Chains A and B, each alone.
Chain A
């Protein structure tokens, strides 16, 4: 997996001192990074802070980036490591969150895409997303990172291996174990709460 032509152009502009180049990198990848952080951390405020940290780290290290890798896999790697570090922070720091567990205050219409869904679809999507986040919290950080990169971000096994710096066999094994655990959690939860259309 190598950097795309668009990424190479952004990197060339950045290297030549174009001040707007890094802003374009942030705007290009911020949605994917925020979504990844949201599912790894489980709440909007932490995810937004983590995304900010990811881009600050990327800015400081961009000169070390090698275009043999895709820019997004490199950013994903920083994001996974940042989220794992944040989950290790002392418990009391979690009190300094304005909207723990809630929706992002900067997102009046979270998930609103170019094709606007109906209010019913939005509610269902939010409910499912919350259910998924609760189930993901029960996984170990390693399994969670692998399954989120696969199912939410849509990466191939080879790309996941690059992001997490693990072999293809390990990727396969982690995704398989994560799915089995999610099957138990989500199926049990749904049986207790009554069936819902999946």
Chain B
């Protein structure tokens, strides 16, 4: 047996899937060819490593999920809900930070803070965004927008 042929057959030999005659010829070749023997030992190492791979348990909820999907015709996707909940919580937190930041800024910078603080509705008003000076980029943008609408 030549080395090229031996190399083709090694994997099946390792798996015990090589027929009688071919198996004996390859065994004989491996005894006499150091290069092929080294190559074969490499395959054995891969085989040994893969034999240590974990076998995973199914999640306990799988039968329930399968049954629910069959009943509804649509699969309930476990991972989607935590992601959606996480995004919703982040949106609420971000909104709260913006509102508190705007309110705090107005209280701290207002000339007559006590008067403004007495009116919580005004503190939370979005009018603050309309106070763009005419020369500022925001003012120019608003002027352009208004011109477009007229």
Query: Using a CB–CB distance below 8 Å, which chain A residues touch chain B?
Result: 23, 26-27, 30-31, 33-35, 38-39, 44-45, 47-49, 51-53, 55-56, 59, 96-99, 104, 106-107, 110-113, 124-126, 128-129, 131-132, 147, 150-152, 156-157, 172, 175-176, 179-180, 182-183, 186-187, 198
Contacts and interface: CB of A to CB of B under 8 A. Distances in A.
A172 B12 contact: yes
28 contacts: A31-B58, A33-B58, A34-B59, A35-B54, A39-B53, A45-B78, A52-B65, A55-B62, A96-B80, A96-B83, A97-B79, A98-B78, A98-B83, A104-B56, A104-B59, A111-B57, A125-B52, A125-B54, A129-B54, A150-B15, A152-B53, A152-B55, A157-B17, A172-B17, A175-B12, A179-B11, A182-B46, A198-B49
A113 B55 contact: yes
Nearest to A156: B17
A55 B65 CA distance: 10
Interface size class of B (residues with CB under 8 A): 35 or more
Contacts of B59: 34, 48, 104, 106-107
Given A49-B75, A157-B12, A198-B49, A59 B70 contact: yes
Given A31-B55, A96-B83, A110-B56, A152 B50 contact: yes
Main secondary structure of the interface of B (DSSP, over half): helix
Nearest to A19: B67
B62 A51 contact: yes
Nearest to B51: A151
Interface of A, secondary structure class, is helix
A56 B10 CA distance: 39
Contacts of B149: none
Contacts of A53: 75
B14 to A, nearest CB: 8
Contacts of B80: 96
Residue with the greatest number of chain B CB neighbours at <10 A, chosen from A45, A129, A176:
A176
Given A30-B63, A96-B79, A128 B53 contact: yes
A182 B61 CA distance: 34
B47 interface: yes
B85 to A, nearest CB: 10
B119 to A, nearest CB: 43
Interface of B: 8, 10-12, 15, 17, 42-43, 45-63, 65-67, 69-70, 75, 77-80, 82-83
Task: Enumerate the 9 nearest inter-chain pairs by beta-carbon distance, A residue then B residue, closest first.
Answer: A106-B59, A30-B58, A176-B11, A111-B54, A98-B79, A151-B50, A129-B54, A34-B58, A55-B66
A59 to B, nearest CB: 5
A112 B66 CA distance: 23
Contacts of B79: 45, 49, 96-99
Contacts of B57: 31, 34, 107, 110-112
Given A104-B59, A176-B10, A23 B67 contact: yes
Given A132-B50, A150-B15, A175-B11, 4 more contacts: A31-B56, A49-B75, A128-B49, A186-B49
Nearest to B66: A55
A164 to B, nearest CB: 15
B17 A111 contact: no
